Structure 1
Amino acid sequence: MGRGKLKTAVILAGGLGTRLRPLTLKKPKALLPLQGKPIVEHIFYWLKLYKINHVVLAVCNLKEQIIDYYKDGSKFGLKIDYLKENVPMGTAGCVKLGKNYLKETFLCSHADEVKDININEWFEFHKKNKALVSIALTKIDNPSAYGVAKMDGDKIIEFVEKPKKGTEPSNLINSGTYIIEPEVLNMIPDGHAMWEYDVFPRIAKLGRLYGFVFPGQWFDIGNMQKYKRCEKLWKGIK
């Protein structure tokens, strides 16, 4: 099966990056280098492998730098549109601003994470289950520092935030990457809204929130320790 099912991806690049200061005082997270190029370019490469050539970048903090660097995306072989937040709208609130770009099933990814996921397999899983949202889940040895998925088969019942060690419902955590149906945009509250608190619980109650467990690498660069670890260990897209 050839690569290429989804057409559009939203990349959430508006975060302040407070845990990466002083690096992010004058440079947004989306432009921080990872193995010689900005982290978002690793995400671009992954998307292009699966023929996702339209990217919608949600930007807020130091947004002019991001827009000036990536421009219309042509030098990266992409078409880039921008969702410009004047104040942070949250991980879901900013995506709602892009309704005009998101008429079909789309992918959503945080800008400060890299991952190696077979998007075609994930998309097939999403459609087979008639999911409204499917979350890419990764296995980790010590999930107690994260939101941990409580599962019923492939369905996500809920996320248990930072459970005590030994009480985790699984070793599966949210990788910060989602496949989303466009009707979900109508379920996002106006104003500031977060996927994790304002949207996903509603979809879980409908029985249409699914978890796709992937075996590939996953790193986030949320703080200096994680950033250094990613720089050292990230092997790129297979």
Structure 2
Amino acid sequence: MDTRAAGTFEDTFLDQSATILEAIRIIDHASLQIALVIDKDRHLKGTVTDGDIRRGIINGIKLEDCVEKVMNRTPVTITPETSREESLSLMTAKKIHQLPIVDKDGKVTGLAQLDVLLKRSTPIYEDQEDVRVILMLGGEGARLLPLTKETPKPMLSIGDKPLLETIIGNFSVQGFKNFYFSVNYKADIIEQYFGDGSRFGVNISYLYEKTRMGTAGALSLLPEVPQGSLIIMNGDILTNSNFCHLVNFHRQNKALATMCVREYEQQIPYGIVTANGMTLQSITEKPSHSYFVNAGIYVVDPDVLGFVPKDQYFDMPQLFDELQKAGKESSVFPIREYWLDIGRHEDLEQARTDYRKIFG
């Protein structure tokens, strides 16, 4: 059986000399979630997925580097003669969603896609019905006074709608429909606007914090232990991150908890002097240092809830510390998409400017 996605697989082709940034453009815009690295004769040299790139970023790879630094040089492939049933069985066993089709000469002739083989009208990365999204919305937004005196920070307007509406819209279009809103400060304003979520095509339940409980403490308020993973996100983040990729990354790494991180570059505005005693060795003029910082977005499995104390203030970094002490596996997921933490007035102005370009 011919398993090709007719007329589309060539959009994934990438030259061996291309950069990782070029691979990102193909993965994001070709809608096939993979780049096929080929030579001038269309021989398959490797594949690149979103996960390959994010793992590379964590290991210090730069977007300007050659794609060969992150590509999988021994990808699983099939032949033009491979049946639909064999392709599906292989995808299920390997937990992958695409298989390059390669002829006896090693040339790419197509790309089998799980969604096409299953005759899905829209791509589905994994079953998201059992994933719950918990948005932490209880903060007072003190650094944004006087704007937050009467309006909770997630309800501040960015574009033509509250920030929180943009957040749930981004989740919803990716298939995430089930939400918990953890609320405290000005909770009535949030609840009156969003209600049960039906007006926005989602399901919303509320966790009421009687006192501030931090970014993890409210997890103890869940009415029951969920069956699937939980995405936890601070309610003051504007991002167009691919949450499907995040959940897939978490599952593939078999971690109990995953923390999203963002690369942050800090430039020292002075020349750095290295000396051995009183002897000058070198001067480095205004060096830059890169760090990964907590991005305020997490995925956790239900077992993590056993580490959250009842009715106490508890932050997500504390939770990850407890998991580390217990020898539990945690992973980090670098965000390469647009991301902005709206904590200060200048951040809010930046978000309003960026919104028109990124989300407009």
TM class by smaller structure: 0.7 to 0.9
Deviations 1:99-126 (A, max 9, x none): 5263321111111001122222222221
Alpha-carbon separation, structure 1, partners of 2:139 and 2:169: 21
Partner of 1:81: 205
Distance of aligned partners of 1:60 and 1:143 in 2 relative to their CA distance in 1, 3 Å threshold: farther
Assess if the C-alpha contact under 8 Å between 1:114 and 1:219 holds in 2. Answer: yes
Q: Tell me whether 1:224 sits opposite 2:345 in the alignment.
A: yes
Deviations 1:47-72 (A, max 9, x none): 11221101100000011111111101
Assess if the C-alpha contact under 8 Å between 2:232 and 2:299 holds in 1. Answer: yes
* Mapping 1:1-238, distance limit 5 Å: 2-3=123-124, 5-6=127-128, 7-100=131-224, 102-142=226-266, 170-190=290-310, 191-197=312-318, 199-205=319-325, 206-234=327-355, 235-236=357-358
Alpha-carbon separation, structure 2, partners of 1:29 and 1:82: 17
Q: TM-score, normalised by structure 1?
A: 0.83
Structure 1 unmatched runs, 5+: 145-164
Alpha-carbon separation, structure 2, partners of 1:120 and 1:226: 26
Q: Helix, strand or coil: the match of 1:141?
A: strand
* Cα offset, 1:5, TM superposition: 3.6
Assess if the C-alpha contact under 8 Å between 1:131 and 1:210 holds in 2. Answer: yes
Assess if the C-alpha contact under 8 Å between 1:17 and 1:29 holds in 2. Answer: yes
Q: TM-score, normalised by structure 2?
A: 0.56
* Cα offset, 1:204, TM superposition: 2.9
Assess if the C-alpha contact under 8 Å between 1:115 and 1:237 holds in 2. Answer: no
Q: Helix, strand or coil: the match of 1:117?
A: coil
- CA-atom RMSD, angstroms? 2.3
Identify which range, 81-90 or 92-101, moves more after superposition: 92-101
Partner of 1:160: none
Distance of aligned partners of 1:46 and 1:24 in 2 relative to their CA distance in 1, 3 Å threshold: same
* Cα offset, 1:196, TM superposition: 1.3
Structure 2 unmatched runs, 5+: 1-96, 98-122, 269-285
Identify which range, 16-25 or 202-211, moves more after superposition: 202-211
Larger Rg belongs to: 2
Partner of 1:147: none
* Cα offset, 1:167, TM superposition: 10
Alpha-carbon separation, structure 2, partners of 1:34 and 1:171: 28
More relative contact order in 1 or in 2 (CA 8 Å, sep 6+)?
1
Q: What amino acid is the match of 2:193?
A: Y
Assess if the C-alpha contact under 8 Å between 1:5 and 1:50 holds in 2. Answer: no
Distance of aligned partners of 1:184 and 1:207 in 2 relative to their CA distance in 1, 3 Å threshold: closer
Alpha-carbon separation, structure 2, partners of 1:82 and 1:63: 10
Alpha-carbon separation, structure 1, partners of 2:331 and 2:262: 13
Percent of pairs identical after alignment? 27
Q: Helix, strand or coil: the match of 1:142?
A: strand
Deviations 1:68-115 (A, max 9, x none): 111010111011000011211111111221152633211111110011
Distance of aligned partners of 1:44 and 1:229 in 2 relative to their CA distance in 1, 3 Å threshold: same
Alpha-carbon separation, structure 2, partners of 1:91 and 1:62: 17
Alpha-carbon separation, structure 2, partners of 1:232 and 1:136: 24
How many pairs does the alignment contain?
216
* Cα offset, 1:222, TM superposition: 0.6
Q: Helix, strand or coil: the match of 1:171?
A: strand
Partner of 1:154: none
Partner of 1:151: none
